[in-house]
Amino acid sequence: MELNVKERIIISSLVPQKSNYATYRMFQDLLMKVGLSADEIKESNIRTEEGGNIRWDNDFIKDFEFKDAEVELIAKYLKELDKKEELSLSDHISLYEKFVKE
């Protein structure tokens, strides 16, 4: 599955504040997979600006292979946001369309 810089950053924001050990371990493995490398951060000039906004200059697409359990985990948290009517058009919709199979 192809993900851009923003989608990779947004996945990291889905990590729940409270959960169980197995979920945290799955997210940890997932974040190791989709997290941006030091070289990618440097090449894209990714930075946090005043107010906490993350910006970058060069967007790029990277292809990832996800296990079924990883897809289900991401989909679960996106569905929870949808149920609470907290999906953001600018942040979550592209991920929702890629990970939630309805």
Run of H or E residues at 61? strand 61-63
pLDDT above 90 (res 98) = yes
Helices (H), 1-102: 5-13, 21-34, 38-44, 68-83, 93-99
- Mean pLDDT score, 41-63: 90
* 2-4/61-63 β-pairing: antiparallel
- Is 3 in a helix, a strand, or coil? strand
Q: Give me the mean pLDDT over the 75-87 stretch.
A: 92
Supply 31's token pair: 């974040």
Q: Say if CB 30 and CB 7 are below 8 A apart.
A: no
Work out the average pLDDT over 9-28. Answer: 89
pLDDT above 90: residue 83 = yes
Q: What pLDDT sits at residue 90?
A: 83
pTM (predicted TM-score): 0.86
